[in-house]
Chain A
Amino acid sequence: RKEVEQDPGPFNVPEGATVAFNCTYSNSASQSFFWYRQDCRKEPKLLMSVYSSGNEDGRFTAQLNRASQYISLLIRDSKLSDSATYLCVVNPPASARQLTFGSGTQLTVLP
């Protein structure tokens, strides 16, 4: 089983739609969680951290379910500029020295 698993997509949605991505992780001792965004032919950049209580940043909402070991990202009122690949990222226990990246979910928002 992969350490971090994501549905690769692609997700093709019309502008204004709501879209949700899920991600599961295998290490129950993982400490912190993030969503990164990667535009085509560009480097990944942090979109938002994911907190236990859930958190929101404008049109983006991230949720964490530790019991089921999954993380979600909800995008409301999709914009053309949201088209990108979204990477689920997990920080394993303190002894680990690298973040674990999912392979990403590709989103295309259509006009």
Chain B
Amino acid sequence: NAGVTQTPKFRILKIGQSMTLQCTQDMNHNYMYWYRQDPGMGLKLIYYSVGAGITDKGEVPNGYNVSRSTTEDFPLRLELAAPSQTSVYFCASRDPSGGNNEQFFGPGTRLTVL
């Protein structure tokens, strides 16, 4: 089991560029999440999904889009990158039907927008 994988690990974007952050999990979890974490701060939820074809906004969705066409994949799209989107992005997944309820995180993507 690879768990939750994210690509790329690092990326530098220019203002106005677009990119997609990839996230894949091989645990057959229905719930998946995207968070951002600014330096020295807590996690902020961007978007989440409770299953293929279903997505919902989190706390800070502006400037981002997501899709969930399969159980495994949950990509995050930045359309017009802005310096305020410089952050570390974590993808996560969990199985709410299990008694454990543990949430698994990917290793993160470090994004800098210049």
Contact = CB atoms under 8 A, between A and B. Distances in A.
B48 interface: yes
B102 A46 contact: yes
Interface stretch (A60-68, A73-81, A101-109): A101-109
Given A101-B43, A102-B42, A32 B105 contact: no
Q: Which of A34, A99, A103 gathers most chain B CB within 10 Å?
A: A99
Contact of B42 (A32, A43, A103): A103
Contact of B90 (A32, A43, A99): A43
B101 A42 contact: no
Contacts of A41: 88
A97 B32 CA distance: 10
Nearest to B107: A43
Given A42-B107, A44-B105, A98 B42 contact: no
A32 B48 contact: no
Nearest to A2: B42
B94 to A, nearest CB: 8
A88 to B, nearest CB: 10
A22 interface: no
B33 interface: yes
B31 to A, nearest CB: 7
A98 B33 contact: yes
A91 interface: yes
25 contacts: A41-B88, A42-B107, A42-B108, A43-B90, A43-B105, A43-B108, A44-B43, A45-B105, A46-B102, A46-B103, A49-B101, A87-B42, A87-B43, A91-B101, A97-B50, A97-B56, A98-B31, A98-B33, A98-B45, A98-B48, A99-B103, A102-B42, A103-B41, A103-B42, A104-B42
Interface of A: 32, 34, 41-46, 49, 87, 89, 91, 97-99, 101-104
